[in-house]
Amino acid sequence: MAENLARQMNDPEIHQHIEELVAEEHRLLDQAEAHTLSADGVARLKEVEVQLDRYFDLLRQRRAREEFGQNPESAKLRPAETVERYLQ
């Protein structure tokens, strides 16, 4: 589902989605700091972190394609397994 949604998103929409994920991440981190984060919350936090990595990667792909005269719309949301293995 996320892959289909990402294909239909333009840069501003991707930015907005990232902002929403960051806001959710901050709420969950605040709960973790207050020791009120449930097990479901811990799982959601991990999921949000992975989704952030994937959408930042998508944005970088789109920018690179545009920079080199390619169609940014051909960028694809990469699998979590791929994005999470990148070296920082």
**17-33 tens-digit pLDDT:** 999 999 999 999 999 99
Average pLDDT over every residue of 68-87: 90
- Residue 11, in any domain of the structure: yes
Residue 7 has pLDDT above 70, yes or no: no
Q: Which domain holds residue 21?
A: 2-83
Q: What is the pTM of this model?
A: 0.86
Percent of the chain topping pLDDT 90: 83
- Residue 35, in any domain of the structure: yes
- Residue 32, in any domain of the structure: yes
Dist. CA 52–CA 57, nearest whole Å: 8
- Residue 24, in any domain of the structure: yes
User: φ and ψ at 46, to 5 degrees?
Assistant: -60, -40
Average pLDDT over every residue of 43-71: 96
Q: Which pLDDT does position 2 carry in this prediction?
A: 61
The answer to whether 60 and 86 are in contact (CB under 8 A) is no
Q: How many domains does the chain have?
A: 1
Average pLDDT over every residue of 62-86: 93
- Residue 88, in any domain of the structure: no
Q: In the numeric block, which tokens belong to residue 86?
A: 């990148």
Q: What is the largest CA-CA distance in the chain?
A: 49
- Residue 22, in any domain of the structure: yes
